[in-house]
Amino acid sequence: MVEVVGTAPTSAMVITKFIYRHSWKTNIINIKGIKIDSTSIMKLTKEQLEEIKNQQSQSNQTKRVTVAELEKILYEAMPALDHGFVRVVDYMGDDTSIVQSARVSYGKGTKQVSTDKGLIKYLMRHWHSTPFEMCEIKYHIKLPIFIARQWIRHRTANVNEYSARYSILDKEFYLPTSENLAAQSISNRQGRGDIIDGEQAKEVLKLLKDDAERTYSNYETMLNERYDGTTIDENKKGLARELARMNLTLNTYTQWYWKTDLLNLMNFLRLRADHHAQYEIRVYADIMLDTLKKWVPITYEAFMDYRVGGTEVSAKGKLTIQKLIKGEKTSLEDSGLSKREWNELMESFNLKDSVIKK
C-alpha cells in the first residue's frame, strides 16, 4: 500500500472557490493581476491558494500506480495567457500501464523487445494506438470562450463546462499582448501575418477592452445583478442568465473539466502544440505537453521523436527523397507533387535551396 498526497479519491470534488466566487473582495476583476506589458497576468487570491494547499495536503491510501513528478504539480494552477490556467486534477496509469496492456494484447509477439522503452517506441513507431488508451488524465482549465470553441473540435474527450445558465461569468477578458497583435495572413486564410504596431495596435487593444467592458456592463444590467452577487435595482427583475449571456464577447473567460485518454491527448498536442496552431491555444498545449512529460516520460520521448519531431512522407515524396539521396536529378514536374507538397517536403528535410518561392 502506498500513501499518496492528493490523489484520486477526493480529486473529483468541484473546487467551488475557483468556479462560484461572488463573495470575493476584488472590485474590478475577480483574480488580481500584476501588470506586464499593459496586460494582467494571473495571480491567485488567498482563497484560491488556500484551496489548492488543502487539496495538495490530502493523504490517501492507494494500490494504484502513481507518478511522483505528476503528484508534485497535482492541483497546481499553471498560468496561461493573462487570466487563464491549467490544472491536473486526476490521472490513471503511467508508462508501465501501456506496456502491461500491450503485452496482454501481443503476447509472444513482444519478446523481441527487451525493454519497456523499446516496446513503447515500437508501439509509437508502428501506430499501435490501443495501449495508449489505457491511461487517462483530467484537467481543470480556464480559457477564453473563442479558444474553447476551437478546442471543443477535439471530440474525443469528456467535457463539463462552467454553466452560464446557473452562474454569472467572471468579469475577466483576454487581451493579447502587443507582440501577438497581427494582421491577417495573405497566404493563409486561417493564420496571422505581419505584426500590427504603433497607433493601430493601441486602437485595436482599446476596442477589444472597451467592447468587453461595455458588454459586461450591459450583461450585469440585464441580470440586474453585479458579478459579486449584489442587486443593482431592488425594483427590477433580472433577465434569465441563459439569455443575458448571449451578449458577452468571445474573449470572456470560461472554465471546464476536460478528461481524455493518453492517445487522444497526444493527438490534441500534436496539432495544438505545433507552430502552425493559433498562439492562444498553443500556450495551453505547451503547458499540457510539460504535464505529459512528467506523467509518462518514456511515452513523451517517443511522442516527441516520432510524432512531433518526425514527418510523414507520401509515396511520391519518398521516391523524390530516394532520388535525392542517390544523387539523381529530380524536379517538381517529375515528382508528381503539387507545389505546396513539394515545398513542405523540402522544408521537412531542411532542403531550403530546393524550395520553390514563386
**Which element (helix H / strand E) includes 263?**
helix 262-272
Q: What Cα–Cα distance (Å) separates residue 304 from each residue in 114, 285, 289, 310?
A: 21, 14, 10, 8
CB 259 within 8 A of CB 137: yes
DSSP structural state of residue 132: G
Angle at 172 between CA 270 and CA 74, to 5 degrees: 50
C-alpha 55/C-alpha 74 separation (Å) is 9
Cell numbers given for 142 = 480556464
Given the residues 21, 270, 272, 307, select the one marked as catalytic.
272
CB 89 within 8 A of CB 139: yes
C-alpha 28/C-alpha 226 separation (Å) is 11
Give the amino acid at 194: D
Q: Which residues contact 129 (CB under 8 A, 6 or more apart)?
A: 263
C-alpha 338/C-alpha 97 separation (Å) is 43
Q: What Cα–Cα distance (Å) separates residue 96 from each residue in 68, 108, 262, 291?
A: 14, 18, 13, 17
C-alpha 178/C-alpha 199 separation (Å) is 11
Phi-psi region of 127 (alpha: psi -120 to 50; beta: other; left: phi over 0): left
C-alpha 52/C-alpha 47 separation (Å) is 9
The question of whether 21 is a catalytic residue gets the answer: no
Cell numbers given for 297 = 516520460
Q: Which residues contact 170 (CB under 8 A, 6 or more apart)?
A: 21, 29, 30, 31, 227, 252, 253
Active site residues: 272
